[in-house]
Amino acid sequence: MNFLNLILKKRNGKSLSTEDIDFFISNYVQGNISDYQVAALLMAIYFTGMNERETADLTFAMRDSGETVDLSDIDGITVDKHSTGGVADTTTLITAPIAAACGLKVAKMSGRGLGHTGGTIDKLESIPGLSTSIGMDRFKDIVADCGLSIIGQTSELVPADKMLYALRDVTGTIDNISLISASIMSKKLACGSDTIVLDVKTGSGSFMTERKDAENLARIMVGIGKMADKNMLALVTDMNQPLGNAIGNALEVKEAIEILQGEHDGDLKDISTALSVNMILSSGLVQEESAANLQVISALESGRALSQFSKMIELQGGDPGVCEDTALLPQADQIVSITSPAKGYVSHIATGEIGGAAMLLGAGRAGKSDSIDTSVGIWMKKRIGDGVDKGEEIAVFYVNDTENLEYAKAKFQNAIVVGAEPPEKKPLIYNSIS
C-alpha cells in the first residue's frame, strides 16, 4: 500500500477504508512513514473530515497501537470519567472518591496540564509524597483495596496518540472533531473500564466554544464507546467561567478536599455530583436517579468519600493528613488582592484568559517540558451575575515569582467585564447524551 495514495484519497474528499487506517497507524508507530507525510494526511483530514465509521476505525487502530489495560481481575464494576478540559475543573478529585464510596471501582489514568487547562496528575502531585507513577499490578491492587486510584498514563499505552498529538500541536490540526474523538476515546478504551462518563465542555474556556460542536463531539464519542461495548454517557456542560473558585494545582486540591468535607457549594460541586450520579446510573448500580442521588449525598455527608480519597493518597505514598489540614499543601509566599475597576455586575468572563493569567504566575505550562509551581494560582471571589462595588476584591493571586505578575494582573482584569445590568444566567448542564 502506498501512503501517498491515502493522502490523495483524503485530500480529494474520499473515505479511507478500515485497511487504509490500520496501515497508516501501524506503519507510523513502527517508523515506516515520515512526519511530513502524516502531517499532510492530518491536514487533509482537517479540511475534508472523516465520517463516523472512519473516526471509529481510527480510534480502534490507535487503541491497539500499544498495550491495553485488563481490569477483569478487579471485583466489581470499573468506571472511568473524562473531561475535555477547562479552567478550575477539579471534578475528578471529587467524583472519583464519591463513586468509590458508592461501591464503584475507579481505575483512572490521567494526564498533565498543557496551556490554560489544568492536569489532574499535576494537581495530585502537589500532595506531599504522592506518586502517580505506579506499576500496573500495584495500580490494580490499590483500586481493589480502596475503590480508586489515579495515575499517569504509561508510555506503552496508545503510542499512536502521543505521536499524532505532538504533530497536530505543531501543524494547526488540533481542533478537528474526528481527531479529538479518536485521541480521547482511544485512551479511554485502552484503559479498560466497563463504564465511561464524559464531561464535554463548551464556552469561552473550552476547546469547543460552540454548544453544537460540543454536542456533536459528545455524540461521536458516545457512539464509539458503544461500538466497543462500553456503557456510555456524556454531559455537555458550561465553561463560560471557571468551574470552581481555585485555579492552580495545590489550590484546586484544597478546594476539592473542602467540597468533600462539606464546606463549599456551587458549580464545581454541582457538576461533580451530577457526574457521580451518572457514573452510578450508567454502571447499572441502581436504576433510579433518585436512588443514585441519595447514594451521592450519603457518600458526602457521611464522610466516606473524603475517607476514600484519604486512603488513596496514603496508598500512593502521599500524606493523608492533607484531608484534615489543607495547610499541609504547598503554600505560595505572597497573596495579592485583585479588585474591581467599576461598580455593577460581573457580566462576562473570558475564561481562557483567566487560565492564561494563572499560567503567567507559574501554575501552567506553555510546552510539555516546562516546569510548574504547584503552590501558585488564583482564587476567584466573584462569579458571573454577582454584584460588585468599585474597589471590591474579586480575586486573590497566590504568587512566588513576581516577574510576570503585572502581565498576569492585566490579563486577568481584561478578562472580567463588569456591566450595569445582571446578565442572563446560563444553564450549568446543557445536555445529556447516551
Per domain, the residue ranges of the chain are 3-49, 78-323, 331-419
Instruction: Please state which of the four CATH numbers 1.20.970.10, 3.40.50.1370, 3.30.70.1070, 3.40.1390.20 is assigned to the domain occupying 3-49.
Output: 1.20.970.10
pLDDT tens digits for range 106-128: 999 887 766 556 689 999 999 99
Looking at residue 207, its pLDDT comes to: 82
Side-chain-side CA neighbours of 259 within 13 Å: the count stands at: 30
Q: 429: how many CB neighbours lie within 10 A of its CB?
A: 14
Q: How far apart are CA 276 and CA 111, in angstroms?
A: 20
Give the cell for residue 221: 464519542
Q: 85: exposed, middle or buried (C-beta count within 10 Å: 0-12, 13-18, 19+)?
A: buried
Instruction: Provide the mean pLDDT of the chain.
Output: 94
382 in catalytic set: no
Cα dihedral angle (304, 307, 312, 314), rounded to 10 degrees?
-170
Least confidently predicted of 108-117, 146-155, 238-247, 360-369: 108-117
Which among 83, 183, 272, 307 is annotated as catalytic?
A: 183
Looking at residue 368, its pLDDT comes to: 64
SS3 for 60?
helix
User: What's the DSSP call for residue 77?
Assistant: -
pLDDT tens digits for range 399-420: 999 999 999 999 999 999 999 9
pLDDT tens digits for range 131-148: 999 999 999 999 999 999
Which among 10, 63, 81, 82 is annotated as catalytic?
A: 82
Give the cell for residue 313: 493518597
116 in catalytic set: no
Evaluate if residue 248 carries a pLDDT over 80.
yes
CATH topology of domain 78-323: Pyrimidine Nucleoside Phosphorylase; Chain A, domain 2 (3.40.1030)
Looking at residue 367, its pLDDT comes to: 67
Q: How far apart are CA 146 and CA 123, in angstroms?
A: 20
Least confidently predicted of 40-54, 65-79, 294-308, 365-379: 365-379
Cα dihedral angle (296, 302, 306, 312), rounded to 10 degrees?
-90
Do residues 68 and 246 make contact, with C-beta atoms less than 8 angstroms apart? no
383 in catalytic set: no
Which among 20, 80, 161, 238 is annotated as catalytic?
A: 161
Looking at residue 372, its pLDDT comes to: 87
Do residues 421 and 380 make contact, with C-beta atoms less than 8 angstroms apart? no
168 in catalytic set: yes
Antiparallel, parallel or unpaired: β 195-202 and 78-83: parallel
**How large a percentage of the chain has pLDDT more than 70?**
98
- For the segment 347-369, the average pLDDT, to the nearest whole number, is 88
Tell me the chain's radius of gyration from C-alpha atoms: 22
Give the cell for residue 213: 460542536
73 in catalytic set: no
Evaluate if residue 424 carries a pLDDT over 80.
yes
Least confidently predicted of 89-98, 310-319, 334-343, 362-371: 362-371
Same topology between domain 3-49 and domain 331-419: no
- For the segment 285-301, the average pLDDT, to the nearest whole number, is 96
Q: How far apart are CA 163 and CA 180, in angstroms?
A: 14
Which among 187, 188, 311, 382 is annotated as catalytic?
A: 187
Antiparallel, parallel or unpaired: β 429-433 and 377-380: unpaired
Q: How far apart are CA 147 and CA 122, in angstroms?
A: 21
Looking at residue 117, its pLDDT comes to: 61
pLDDT band at residue 338 under the 50/70/90 scheme: very high
Instruction: Please state which of the four CATH numbers 3.10.20.90, 3.30.420.40, 3.40.50.150, 3.90.1170.30 is assigned to the domain occupying 331-419.
Output: 3.90.1170.30
Q: How far is CA 13 from the centre of its chain?
A: 32
- For the segment 65-69, the average pLDDT, to the nearest whole number, is 93
Which among 168, 188, 230, 311 is annotated as catalytic?
A: 168
Q: Which residues of 125-158 are buried (b: 16+ CB within 10 A; e: fewer)?
A: bbbeebebebebeebbebbbebbbbbbbbbeebb
